Structure 1
Amino acid sequence: MEWLEMIVGPDDGTPTMAQFCARTVLLFFYGLACIRIAGRRTFSNLSPFDIVVAIIVGSNISRAMTGRVPFLPSLGSTLLLVVLHRLVAMATVRWNPLASFVKGCPMVLIRDGQIDERAMLRHDISTADLMEGLRMEQVCRIDDVALATIERGGKISVVPRKA
């Protein structure tokens, strides 16, 4: 382990410039490995579950880079978090109650041109937010919507009425 401390420096926040650079290179590849382990969906279609993991991973890597925490324990805890994320993600594919708890459930906001006010209140969506979501799906009027749903990731998906 002495060789590692020679490369990355001490954990008291006083590494040399070369040791900070070595930490940066190691943590860059470590971060890439964590993303590969966690899977593509972790950093693409972000759910609240994925966002929390991404923030913690970034924070842990940042602190390890600046030498504010012990290097190897920080890497170990970050890897554990990523592996737990992956295991929970795999479990949510097989067990719907866990998926609903971790990822939430989609909710219909508009059905056949009728807004569900309770659903909008429950998800803190204003009429302006709803209209923005519709416009982003190339729909101008609520009457033109067969179905609008707030998906688990927070995006509003829209199925337009047939012409």
Structure 2
Amino acid sequence: MWFDAVGDIARVVLIGSAAYISLIVILRISGKRTLAKLNAFDLVVTVAVGSTLATILLNSDVSFAEGVTALVLLAVLQFLAATISSRFTVGRAVVTATPTLLFSQGRYLDEALRGQRVSVDQIRQAIRSTGRGDVGQVAAVVLESDGSLSVIAKDKVGDWSALAGLGNVPASGR
């Protein structure tokens, strides 16, 4: 089967767009830690392309044209999401998660920890992974957009400019 009907291709475009948007919303709602080290869009495209390819190969109800349309659609949506997030502040805020300050100047930021579903033990583990045995040597710990934890040592914090834009940096840390 090379081509069935234009209606089938239109269905792939509509359902594919809706499914892509739904998956992004679900990933954004579930939080940064869900992806842990993966960019949301890389994950979406990787899984979707693999699934689409398998469907094209294994499901005789899906024509080749529909499958290719679905693959092209995923590539176009990925390009649009990347373009929007890189060029527009509002788009970036909608499409990607922002980093969150979880620990600053010897204090665990409880509200941020609860909001991001990160435990004090996970903060300590991140600190230990940098080779530090003393929490007092740490100026800040940030939950990054990809779900990783960045640890900034007191002797490396400088003017705190790397934390600009987090919105919850203490006044004494600016």
TM > 0.5 fold call:
yes
- Residue by residue over 1:120-158, the C-alpha shift from the partner in whole angstroms, topping out at 9 and shown as x without a partner, is 110101122222222233333322211110011111111
Equivalent AA in structure 1 for residue 123 of structure 2: L
Equivalent AA in structure 2 for residue 105 of structure 1: T
CA distance change for structure 1 residues 76 and 151 in 2, over 3 Å: closer, same or farther? same
Unaligned 5+ segments in structure 2 are 4-36, 157-174
Contact 2:101 2:140 in 1 (8 A): yes
The number of residue pairs the alignment matches comes to 122
RMSD between aligned residues: 2.3
Aligned residues: percent identity?
Answer: 25
Determine which structure has more spread, i.e. the larger CA radius of gyration.
1
Q: For residues 75-86 of structure 1, what are the structure 2 equivalents within 5 Å?
A: 75-86=68-79
Q: 1:55 aligns with which of 47, 51, 62?
A: 47
Contact 1:145 1:158 in 2 (8 A): yes
Equivalent AA in structure 2 for residue 114 of structure 1: R
Structure 1-normalised TM-score?
A: 0.66
1:111 alignment partner in structure 2: 104
Q: Does 1:139 align with 2:99?
A: no
Unaligned 5+ segments in structure 1 are 5-44
CA distance change for structure 1 residues 70 and 134 in 2, over 3 Å: closer, same or farther? farther
Q: Does 1:46 align with 2:38?
A: yes
Structure 2-normalised TM-score?
A: 0.62
Runs of 4+ in 1 over 4 A off after TM superposition: none
- Residue by residue over 1:33-74, the C-alpha shift from the partner in whole angstroms, topping out at 9 and shown as x without a partner, is xxxxxxxxxxxx622233223221111112112245322211
CA distance in 1: counterparts of 2:124 and 2:68, whole angstroms: 44
